[in-house]
Amino acid sequence: MKATATANANIALVKYWGKRSSDRILPQNGSISMTCDGMATKTTVEFSEQPEHTVMINDEEFKKDEKDIHGHIDRICRMAGIRKHAKVVSESNFPVAAGLASSASGFAALTVATCAAAGLKLSPRELSILTRQGSGSACRSIFGGFVEWHRGQRDDGSDSYAEEIKDKNHWPEFRMIATIVESKKKPVSSRGGMAQTVATCPYYKDWLATVDEDLKNMKEAIEERDFEKVGGIAEFNALKMHATMITTKPSIIYWIPATMEIIHAVRQMREEEIQAYFTMDAGPNVKVLCQERDVKEISMQLAELEGVANTILCKPGDGAKIVSEHLF
């Protein structure tokens, strides 16, 4: 009753922002992402007769918060019909809770490892639906390459799942450079920020009214490997999402001076005919979309910016999977 899984983070090119059901984690809109080889979580789960679940994340004992890891493990235990408790040890190779999709890789690895340790055999779609109930964006990390998470219509969530649009080999030249400008935990969580936006933003309805067109155009651009189109849609979609955050009550502003420094640098790169675009999740760290041929030049320019502490180079990666080497 022991298993280890790895899962990569994914970064949305068309964002998920807002829930239509908080209990089942059902999104207000669909989304499309790239699974990122370069930002990964590895998790080992073992069931035993210990008195309660224990969770260690990056050498720190997990304290219960709105990310209900214990509740997610209980959900899987009920499905498997087991009454034992889990020991969980998890490690990520990038900063957590900083707008770099750590919960996506974390919950995907946790779900796959826990199911394997509990003896559950689920299809990829079933794993995606189950993972979604722990963390919405994590359902996309079950798959590799370019992934779409369907909004779904049913109240039970049975039609809200992710699936692969194109595998990692479809576009081997595609790159994403994650800039690290701040590693500390962000002041407003994604989950809290979404709820506040849905409840108070006067422009949220306009966000929802434009997302379906973004999804349609992004799928076409990925299939055609049209980098300029992908970058343009992703950049504008991210700005629209942040516009809804800025116009909530109270306002949510994740950007810091270094965030704006990178945004302006990327726009200047395009003036110099370097194909680069940016996207951002709920946090200050910017991701720069580019092609393999431009990585060296873009990385050099980013390194010269005062606010950039580090960068992580990502290409389209694999979905979540079981591995043989355990963490304990």
For tokens 């189109």, what's the residue? 229
The band of 21, judged by pLDDT with boundaries at 50, 70 and 90, is very high
Q: What is the pLDDT of residues 226-267, one digit of tens each?
A: 999 999 999 999 999 999 999 999 999 999 999 999 999 999
- What H or E segment, with its residue span, contains residue 126? helix 124-132
Please report which confidence band the pLDDT of residue 182 belongs to, taking 50, 70 and 90 as the band edges.
Answer: confident
151-160, 184-193, 314-323: range with lowest mean pLDDT: 184-193
As a whole number, mean pLDDT of residues 187-211 equals: 95
Do 222 and 230 touch, CB atoms closer than 8 A?
A: yes
- How far apart are alpha carbons 306 and 312 in whole angstroms? 17
Q: What is the pLDDT of residue 97?
A: 60
- Listing DSSP states for 280-311 in one string gives E-SSS-EEEEEEGGGHHHHHHHHHTSTT--EE
φ/ψ region of 5 (left if φ > 0, alpha if ψ in -120 to 50, else beta) reads beta
- pLDDT of 62 reads 84
101 touches 136 (CB < 8 A): no
Distances from the Cα of 13 to the Cα of 46, 132, 141, 205, 312, angstroms? 35, 18, 14, 20, 17
Give percent of the chain above pLDDT 70: 97
Residue-level pLDDT at 183:
75
**Exposed / middle / buried, residue 91 (Cβ in 10 Å: 0-12, 13-18, 19+):** middle
Asked if 282 contacts 16 with a C-beta cutoff of 8 angstroms, the reply is no
pLDDT band at 30 (very low <50, low <70, confident <90, very high): very high
For the chain, what are the domain ranges? 1-328
How far is residue 92's CA from residue 131's CA, in Å, rounded to a whole number?
Answer: 18
**Which range has the worst mean pLDDT, 58-67, 95-104, 140-149, 313-322?**
95-104
- Ramachandran category for residue 245: left, alpha or beta (phi over 0 → left; psi -120 to 50 → alpha): alpha
Burial class (CB in 10 A: 0-12, 13-18, 19+), 311: middle
What pLDDT sits at residue 67?
Answer: 73
Q: What is the pLDDT of residue 140?
A: 98
Q: Which has the closest alpha carbon to 85: 136, 39, 50?
A: 50
pLDDT above 90 (res 5): yes
Average pLDDT over residues 115-127: 98
> What is d(CA 259, CA 254) in angstroms, rounded to the nearest whole number?
9
Mean pLDDT of the chain: 95
Q: What does the pLDDT average to over 255-284? A: 97
Predicted local distance difference test score (pLDDT) of residue 101: 65
Tell me the C-alpha distance between 270 and 255, whole Å. 21
Q: What is the pLDDT of residue 229?
A: 98
Q: Based on DSSP, count helices (H) and strands (E) in the chain, helices before strands.
A: 8, 14
How many of the other CB atoms lie within 10 Å of CB of 182? Answer: 19
Weakest-pLDDT range from 94-108, 185-199, 273-287:
94-108
d(CA 107, CA 8): 10
Q: CATH number for 1-328: choose from 3.30.230.10, 3.40.50.2300, 1.10.10.10, 3.50.50.60.
A: 3.30.230.10
Give residue 27's Cα distance to chain centre.
14
Q: Which of 58-62, 148-152, 202-206, 309-313 shows the lowest mean pLDDT across its residues?
A: 58-62
Residue among 107, 6, 97, 41 at smallest CA distance from 283: 97
